[in-house]
């Protein structure tokens, strides 16, 4: 979108002189009973975020509109405190989240989305560098909760439960916490010192961790039920799916992407084979192919050192034997065309630049094997998609030679060996609307074990389940959740935190509250039920200002071997502030003064400086207001809506 085109936005075109609704004929009079009401609604970035981040809130802090409540507090610390209300991993998620929030950003209608991930990474880095801690609970409840699984969902739930004062013990079968963040994502995307710091911050609040413990084997479900008041299952989907081909089963050099990445991240896999084919199309398949290119191959390899033997846990590579490595031919195939792959565009571009060959719109149809039963090629054909079902195109068959086939087409849970009681029969756990395991009152679940999705989705599940557990333990169990289930701005809390809370109400009947000091008047909170669309904003207010993209260390195909450096370069403070300034604050006043300037009756005025908070910047004198709608029309954020009043 060019600057010239972006600046030509108009709310009304020439000739638009008739109201769509007959009721709007009220404007033919010189006045109306309609007057401005300040309506808080959820912005689409927050509505698109599976963890329910108050994104607009911490961008307002970055822009300098929402000042820290404590004098001398850096804005980054204040923003961090707002971020971790929803997500205790801002430095990690700022790096790896595919950012559905940016896809939903209303700013896309003007120029580009706000660089939300970049601001999150910057604040997350600041918190680690300055050793910011998570707050410890003010009081203990005496309740004990077991969290099964130390991945993003389990640790998020542990943090949310701990901040409510509950005693939390995390059980993890691996030797380290982190789950897919540690064992499913390579270190050049999530540096391990960053991940370890954010995990340690949670443990420092008093969360206990027991690693190397397998529930069902080392500790039974019955023991958990006897020792804990509630149990949260966040065991993830650690079992990869094989290809749906008869020739897949029993073929030695055919493995899953999950197992491949786990072996690499555990430090057991140091090299792979010369020719690798990865079947997938999502971020996991990109990671497998990119890791294979970085590891490289060796020409002479013993049977016990073949990648499949390492991945299956039979042995581990001797690091010294990986000294003489050569490049790997990595081919990634996808059922969908390349531009429709679920992997992010940035990850696809990086993989291609690093020498991974990506083939889209193709499907595997057979595995070609040698006399020893080892795969030597993967037979493919072109295909079209009927929804999620591939349709082969006859006469397009071809073979891709390979020494290793990796399936990255999906994952499922592993609920065998003592966990059958919570298995829904398909390797997952069924939950109700409040993430309670169906038929199990003390049991809750979240993350990939109920629906494989994003890391931030698991974090959101953990937060919601923690709230459901807390309410259950208090004797007030939830039955449903808000339509827009997120961490919402709360004007009443904001007023109270700033010392501007309303006075006590004496319960005396009264008509009208515009002059009363016991009510938050001419304000309505619809954030739990409505997401504000771009059509409710005055987009003409915003000048063309394209997003600042984070710089990256691009690696060429000839440089990728052995290169495990982080690729993303974080924002500077100025860049982070600038992206905060680009936020359009959808559904919340951002103090632009348009309503004050354009009101022809001088009915809209600023709140006294000593009484202002976010969301309470302007007020309306209803004795002067004639209901002309001008303040509504010029409100960039859609915060001003017209409603009947007197």
Residues 6+ apart with CB under 8 A from 107: 113, 114, 542, 547, 582, 583, 584
| DSSP 8-class letter at 436 | B
Tell me the CATH number for domain 144-238+413-473.
3.50.50.60
pLDDT of residue 94: 97
- pLDDT tens-place string over residues 114-167: 999 999 999 999 999 999 999 999 999 999 999 999 999 999 999 999 999 999
pLDDT of residue 3: 46
3-state secondary structure 96-152: HCCCHHHHHCHHHHCCCCCCHHHHHHHHHHHHHHCCCCCCCCCCCCCCEEEEECCCH
Stretches where the chain sits below pLDDT 50 are 1-4, 22, 26, 320, 322
- pLDDT tens-place string over residues 436-484: 999 999 999 999 999 999 999 999 999 999 999 999 999 999 989 999 9
pLDDT of residue 126: 98
**Contact by Cβ (8 Å): 602, 610:** no
Residue among 188, 195, 183, 285 nearest 236 (CA): 183
Residues 6+ apart with CB under 8 A from 546: 111, 112
- pLDDT tens-place string over residues 323-362: 567 899 999 999 999 999 999 898 999 999 999 999 999 9
pLDDT of residue 16: 64
pLDDT of residue 560: 95
3-state secondary structure 538-599: CHHHCCCCCCCCCCECCCCCCCCCCCCCCCECCCCHHHHHHHHHHCCCCCCCCCCCHHHHHC
pLDDT of residue 2: 46
Name 620's bridge partners.
604
Could you tell me how far CA 400 lies from the centroid of its own chain?
A: 36
Count other Cβ atoms within 10 Å, centred on residue 126. Answer: 21
**Contact by Cβ (8 Å): 263, 530:** no
Q: What's the mean pLDDT when you consider all of the chain?
A: 91
CA distance 38 to 423: 48
Residue among 247, 251, 252, 239 nearest 364 (CA): 247
**Contact by Cβ (8 Å): 430, 303:** no
Residues 6+ apart with CB under 8 A from 645: 33, 34, 35, 37, 522, 622
Residue in the structure block whose two tokens are 């560098």: 129
Q: Exposed e or buried b for every residue in 291-327, given b needs 16+ CB within 10 A?
A: bbbbbbbbeebeeebbbbbbbeeeebbeeeebeebee
| DSSP 8-class letter at 634 | H
Q: Which residue ranges does the chain devote to CATH 3.50.50.60?
A: 144-238+413-473, 241-410
Residues 6+ apart with CB under 8 A from 263: 269, 310, 311, 313
| DSSP 8-class letter at 255 | E
Residue among 502, 513, 493 nearest 37 (CA): 513
| DSSP 8-class letter at 230 | E
- Taken as a whole, the chain contains a residue count of 646
pLDDT of residue 299: 77
Pick the CATH number of 241-410 from 3.30.300.30, 3.40.1190.20, 3.50.50.60, 2.40.50.140: 3.50.50.60
Residue among 144, 234, 131, 143 nearest 181 (CA): 234
pLDDT of residue 29: 53
Q: Exposed e or buried b for every residue in 549-586, given b needs 16+ CB within 10 A?
A: ebeeeebeeeebbeeeeebbebbeeebbbbbbebbbbb
Phi, psi of 347, rounded to the nearest 5 degrees: -65, -40
């Amino acid at each position: 979108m060019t600057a010239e085109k972006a600046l030509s936005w108009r709310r009304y075109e020439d000739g638009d002189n008739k109201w769509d609704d007959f009721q709007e004929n009220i404007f033919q009079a010189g006045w109306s009973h309609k007057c401005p009401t300040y309506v808080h609604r959820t912005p689409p970035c927050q509505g698109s975020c599976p963890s329910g981040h108050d994104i607009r809130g911490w961008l307002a802090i970055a822009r300098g509109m929402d000042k820290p409540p404590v004098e001398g507090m850096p804005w980054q610390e204040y923003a961090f405190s707002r971020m971790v209300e929803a997500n205790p991993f801002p430095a990690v998620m700022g790096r790896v989240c595919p950012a559905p929030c940016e896809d939903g950003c209303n700013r896309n209608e003007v120029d580009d989305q706000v660089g939300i991930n970049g601001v999150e990474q910057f604040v997350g880095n600041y918190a680690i560098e300055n050793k910011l801690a998570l707050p410890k609970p003010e009081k203990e409840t005496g309740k004990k909760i077991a969290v099964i699984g130390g991945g993003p969902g389990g640790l998020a739930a542990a943090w949310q439960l701990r901040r409510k004062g509950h005693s939390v013990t995390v059980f993890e079968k691996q030797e380290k916490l982190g789950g897919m963040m540690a064992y499913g994502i390579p270190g050049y995307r999530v540096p391990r010192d960053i991940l370890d710091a954010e995990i340690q911050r949670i443990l420092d609040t008093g969360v206990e961790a027991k690693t190397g413990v397998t529930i069902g084997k080392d500790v039974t479900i019955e023991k958990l039920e006897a020792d804990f008041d509630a149990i949260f299952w966040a065991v993830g989907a650690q079992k990869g799916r094989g290809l749906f081909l008869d020739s897949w089963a029993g073929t030695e050099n055919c493995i899953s992407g999950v197992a491949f990445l786990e072996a690499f991240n555990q430090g057991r896999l140091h090299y792979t084979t010369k020719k690798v084919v990865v079947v997938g199309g999502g971020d996991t398949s990109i990671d497998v192919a990119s890791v294979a290119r970085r590891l490289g191959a060796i020409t002479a390899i013993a049977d016990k050192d073949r990648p499949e033997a390492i991945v299956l846990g039979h042995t581990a590579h001797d690091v010294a034997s990986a000294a003489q490595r050569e490049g790997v031919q990595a081919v990634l195939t996808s059922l969908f065309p390349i531009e429709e792959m679920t992997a992010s565009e940035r990850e696809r571009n990086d993989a291609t630049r690093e020498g991974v060959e990506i083939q889209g719109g193709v499907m595997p149809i057979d595995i070609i094997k040698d006399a020893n039963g080892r795969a030597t090629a993967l037979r493919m054909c072109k295909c079209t998609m009927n929804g999620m079902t591939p349709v082969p195109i006859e006469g397009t068959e071809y073979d891709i030679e390979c020494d290793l086939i990796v399936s990255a087409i999906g994952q499922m849970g592993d609920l065998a060996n003592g966990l059958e009681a919570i298995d829904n029969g398909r390797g997952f756990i069924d939950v109700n609307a409040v993430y309670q395991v169906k038929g199990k009152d003390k049991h809750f679940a979240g993350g990939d074990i109920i629906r494989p999705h994003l890391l931030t989705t698991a974090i959101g599940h953990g937060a919601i389940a923690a709230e459901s557990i807390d309410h259950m333990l208090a004797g007030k169990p939830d039955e449903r959740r808000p339509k827009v289930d997120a961490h919402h701005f709360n004007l009443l809390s904001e007023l109270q935190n700033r010392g501007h809370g309303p006075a006590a109400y004496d319960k005396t009947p009264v008509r009208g509250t515009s002059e009363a000091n016991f009510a938050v008047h001419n304000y309505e909170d619809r954030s739990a039920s409505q997401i504000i669309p771009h059509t409710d904003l005055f987009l003409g207010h915003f000048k063309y200002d394209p997003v600042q993209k984070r710089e990256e260390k691009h690696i060429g195909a000839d440089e990728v071997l052995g290169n495990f450096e982080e690729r993303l370069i974080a924002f500077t403070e100025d860049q982070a502030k600038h992206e905060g300034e680009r936020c359009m604050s959808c559904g919340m006043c951002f103090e632009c003064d348009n309503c004050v300037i354009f009101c022809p009756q001088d009915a809209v005025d600023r709140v006294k400086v000593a009484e202002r908070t976010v969301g309470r910047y302007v007020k309306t004198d209803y004795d002067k207001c004639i209901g002309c709608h001008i303040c509504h029309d010029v409100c960039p954020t859609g915060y001003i809506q017209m409603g009947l009043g007197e």
